[in-house]
Amino acid sequence: MSSKIEFYQKFLEEKIVAVVRGKDAKEAAAIAEAAVKGGLNAIELTYTTPGVEDVFKHFAGTNALIGAGTVLDEETARHAILNGAQFVVSPHFDPKIAKTCNRYSIPYFPGCMTIKEMVQAMEYGSDILKLFPANGFDPSFIGSVNGPLPNVRVMPTGGINLNNMNEWLDAGAVAVGIGSDLTKAYRSAGEDAVVKLVQEYLTKLG
């Protein structure tokens, strides 16, 4: 069994991805650690965090699924992979990033908003597409897409919260990305607040 298949088997069980943007590597590691402690095992560490590669290394050898987010070019994708990222996420679709990820058998989740982008991303081997920013769409959008493209798997990110998470999942999303809630919780009340919030999400998930 290939590592890519194993990854998808684990990832699709998670349903929620913690998107972590820290002011520095220390803050990002703390938020991510708290998210894992709360019960989330899929963590996207964004390249808007200075020194994010240190956080990848921090999680090396753990059971968490650690990915790189806000990857804008192939050089950053390769940097992330060489530093331990298990999946790569970008706010847009880039054929060069797709090729780099395919070269290393790393899943690539590109941001797509149109049918044309989705078809192109699928042609380049992307199995899960990030709908970003999701707050510009209604959950019914997934059903509309799955009419002509029934094999598209969508992961909405941006504007996902406790109140609408299940609407997206019930509409067909394979997972959702949450982020700003976790950062706000950490900055207002520390790691314990993140743990508590994550547990609220998992309880709501059922």
Residues marked active site are found at 44, 130
How many C-beta neighbours within 10 Å does residue 13 have? 11
Identify the CA nearest to 44 among candidates 127, 105, 169, 130: 130
Count Cα neighbours of 99 within 13 Å in the Cβ-side half-sphere. Answer: 6
Q: Whole-angstrom distance between the N-terminal and C-terminal Cα of the chain?
A: 30
Phi first, then psi, for residue 101 (nearest 5°) are -65, -40
Q: Which two tokens stand for residue 102?
A: 């395919």
Question: In whole angstroms, how far apart are CA 27 and each of 16, 22, 32, 168, 191?
Answer: 20, 5, 9, 29, 10
Place of tokens 């090396």: 60
